Amino acid sequence: MNKSKFKFRFTRRAFAYPYMAFLLLFVVVPLVIILINAFLDEGKLTFANFAEFFSNAGGGLTVLGNSLIIGLVTTLICLAIGYPCAYLLAKYHASNRVLVLLFILPMWVNFLIRTLSTKAIFMSLNVELGMGTVLFGMVYNYLPYMILPLHTTLVSIDHSYIEAAEDLGADRLSVLLKAVIPLSVPGIVSGITMTFIPAISTFAISEILSGSKIYLFGDAINMHFAKTTNSLGVGSVMSLVMLVLVIVANVIVNLTNKEEEVNSVL
């Protein structure tokens, strides 16, 4: 008589099981709870939470607009500073890897500690906390997220393209504008995404470096979840809006990378 016995085979797929369990417990389940809370109001299914947010009754759309503007400004500043830095790091990558490490080192420190330290410096210099200090703190915290993808893309560019452009008589500026920058578009898109999304959703940086004067989208979500359970619905709707923005950003990055892969093949 044959008896079927369950035998666990230790394969490479088995290593994915703990990760899948972690995602299910700490990612999928919280998202489902947020989705359910978005349609609940006093225990009843309703669209009142969506109506309250999109009608701007509590100023949610205004806060989102302000956050988008501040996130855009932060991203543009990071791009303006990060691209030259990434270009120089990529140009001297072989001989100055220590410089790359210096840009990575701040990421090893918790961003809350970095922000509190930045506030302490401003306070010691008697700098008034406000929009300027918030922008400084956001650029300081998110600049590495712009530099690293740009550096990775610039290092991977085939140097023969640059040599071909120089052989055809192009000067350094023309090589940069017509060869290097177009080939680094995937890194630019990735850097913009990795900077813009955290910038519009942050709340600790704006709260600490403005003395609670500046109110961003992340602050609004935190406030709704910190209040009574009656505010969980609107906070859940705002969380879903942020999730949609993240998904749209990832789709744009994937489409850009696919287009670059097709262009490289052609």
* pLDDT tens-digit map of 157-177: 888 888 888 788 888 888 888
Would the pTM count as exceeding 0.85? no
d(CA 260, CA 266): 10
Q: Is residue 68 part of a domain?
A: yes
* pLDDT tens-digit map of 56-92: 877 888 889 989 999 999 999 999 999 999 988 887 7
The pLDDT, as a whole number, for residue 220 is 86
Structural domain for 123, as ranges:
59-265
The pLDDT, as a whole number, for residue 173 is 84
Non-local (6+) Cβ contacts of 211 within 8 A are 129
Which pair of tokens denotes residue 170? Answer: 């192009």
Q: Is residue 25 part of a domain?
A: no
Helix (H) and strand (E) counts for the chain? 14, 2
Residue tagged 């709340």 (tokens): 203
Residue (of 66, 65, 60) closest to 233 by Cα position: 60
The pLDDT, as a whole number, for residue 257 is 67
Q: Is residue 169 part of a domain?
A: yes
Looking up residue 255, the CATH number of its domain turns out to be 1.10.3720.10
Is 149 within 8 Å of 85 (Cβ atoms)?
no
Number of domains in the chain: 1
The pLDDT, as a whole number, for residue 94 is 57
Q: Is residue 38 part of a domain?
A: no
Q: Is residue 175 part of a domain?
A: yes
Q: Is residue 149 part of a domain?
A: yes
Q: Is residue 215 part of a domain?
A: yes
d(CA 90, CA 217): 35
d(CA 114, CA 121): 11
Residues of the chain short of pLDDT 70, as ranges, are 1-10, 93-96, 227-230, 257-266
Q: Is residue 54 part of a domain?
A: no
The pLDDT, as a whole number, for residue 159 is 81
